[in-house]
């Protein structure tokens, strides 16, 4: 791959790559009563060499310590929105992230109902 193309692809992912810390706030407690507001840390690393996929590890802070919540592969859309899906026997979720300067804005949507479960606002650590 040509160096300019490689650099461009890395740049696409580099806006999200790094460590982020902030909040994950419940939006709809009526429909999602088990949801709890959390302080979170996301660590994002580029995956592969295409620049359009990033793996994000999500931890919550519990009594001052990081507790692993999960890891998802986000794909960058043409509009700059990073999107992942999570599914298990209980839920089917769409996770989105958008880089806005030094902030990371996230949203978690319940796919079957279309309802927003969480809003996330994080700030770049490094």
Q: Where are the domains of the chain?
A: 3-124
Burial class (CB in 10 A: 0-12, 13-18, 19+), 109: middle
| Percentage of residues in the chain having pLDDT higher than 90 | 79
Q: Helix (H, G, I), strand (E, B), or coil: what is residue 9? A: helix
**Calpha distance 123→108 (Å, rounded):** 18
Mean pLDDT of 80-109: 95
Contacts (Cβ under 8 Å, ≥6 apart) of 78: none
Mean pLDDT of 55-69: 97
Asked whether the beta carbons of 72 and 95 are under 8 A apart, the reply is yes
pTM for the model stands at 0.86
Q: Is the pLDDT of residue 99 over 50?
A: yes
Q: Helix (H, G, I), strand (E, B), or coil: what is residue 50? A: coil
Question: Superfamily for 3-124?
Answer: Quinohemoprotein amine dehydrogenase alpha subunit, domain 2 (2.40.128.120)
Q: Is the pLDDT of residue 42 over 80?
A: yes
Greater confidence, 6 or 50?
50
**Calpha distance 43→78 (Å, rounded):** 23
Q: Which of 39-43, 59-63, 98-102 has the lowest mean pLDDT?
A: 98-102
Mean pLDDT of 70-90: 93
Contacts (Cβ under 8 Å, ≥6 apart) of 106: 24, 95, 96, 97, 98, 118, 119, 120, 121, 122
The residue length of the chain stands at 126
pLDDT at 1: 47
Q: What is the mean pLDDT of the chain?
A: 89
């Amino acid at each position: 791959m040509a160096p300019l193309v490689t650099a461009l692809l890395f740049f696409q992912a580099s806006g999200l790559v790094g460590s982020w810390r902030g909040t994950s706030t419940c939006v709809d407690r009526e429909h999602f009563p088990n949801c709890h507001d959390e302080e979170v840390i996301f660590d994002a690393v580029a995956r592969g060499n295409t620049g359009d996929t990033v793996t994000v590890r999500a931890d919550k802070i519990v009594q001052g310590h990081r507790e692993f919540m999960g890891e998802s592969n986000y794909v960058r859309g043409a509009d700059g929105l990073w999107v992942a899906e999570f599914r298990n026997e209980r839920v089917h979720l769409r996770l989105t992230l958008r880089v806005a300067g030094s902030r990371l804005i996230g949203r978690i949507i319940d796919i079957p109902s279309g309802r927003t479960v969480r809003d996330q606002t994080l700030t770049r650590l490094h």
